[in-house]
Amino acid sequence: MIEKHTQSIAGNLKKPIALVGMMGAGKSYIGQKLAKALDCEFHDSDACIEQQVGKAIAQIFSNDGEQAFRAMEQDVIYGLLSKKNVVIATGGGAVTTSETLGALKQKGVMIWLNPSLDTIWSRIKDEGHRPLLDCDHPQDVLENLMDKRRDLYAQAHIQIDDNVLTSEKSVEQVIKAINEHLA
Ligand code: S3P
């Protein structure tokens, strides 16, 4: 099944595929599977920043602040968007920088992975590496962030509302949606 859709994309894919969405939306997980299925490189913007700066994201937030992190994120995403045949997993807040959002829309096929907040919370509640949720009421913060970001994510070319993160099915769904978008 995946093979059939992959064939339709081959040759049509002139822009990088950029996955956006909240923390825990599955951008890195799906992105890696998608890149494999499409025979593309996979890049995770957070991982690229950590590699370039030599610090963990949480450390960058606490040492340099969110604004400095967003500037680094913008630079890294600009660089990734200039590559060919890539799938990019962006950080959940990348869309909050208007220049980054503009570049994602213009230079990429922007895909919003949008599982429900309950699903997201169940995935991330036991993880401790996200600086914005390192607070007393992380679930409330998550909801507030989503309220602020929903309209930004919604500017994506493609929206996938999918709570079932079984790799085969989700990747298939994303590939089908990309084909429909490119048709
Ligand atoms: C952030 C999401 C994180 C990371 C940073 C900020 C956000 O990436 O970029 O902690 O603002 O939502 P993931 O979406 O990969 O968790």
- Residue 100 neighbours by CB distance under 10 Å: 27
Q: Among 80, 96, 130, name the best residue to mutate to test ligand 1's pocket (greatest count of ligand atoms within 8 A of Cβ).
A: 130
Q: pLDDT-based confidence at 5, cuts 50/70/90?
A: low
**To 10 degrees, what angle do helices 117-124 and 138-153 make?**
130
Bridge partners (DSSP) of residue 19 are 89, 111
Tell me the mean pLDDT in the region 106-124.
Answer: 95
What is the SS3 string spanning 121-140? Answer: HHHHCCCCCCHHHCCCCHHH
pLDDT confidence of residue 165 = 56
For residue 114, report the distance from its CA to the centre of ligand 1, in Å: 15
Average pLDDT, the chain: 92
Q: pLDDT-based confidence at 14, cuts 50/70/90?
A: confident
pTM of the model: 0.94
Q: Is 1 helix (H, G, I), strand (E, B) or coil?
A: coil
For residue 130, report the distance from its CA to the centre of ligand 1, in Å: 7
Whether the predicted pLDDT of 159 surpasses 80: yes
Tell me the mean pLDDT in the region 148-156.
Answer: 98
Give the model confidence (pLDDT) of 84-93 as tens digits. 899 999 999 9
pLDDT confidence of residue 153 = 98
Whether the predicted pLDDT of 156 surpasses 70: yes
Task: Assess contact for 23 and 30: CB atoms under 8 A.
Answer: no
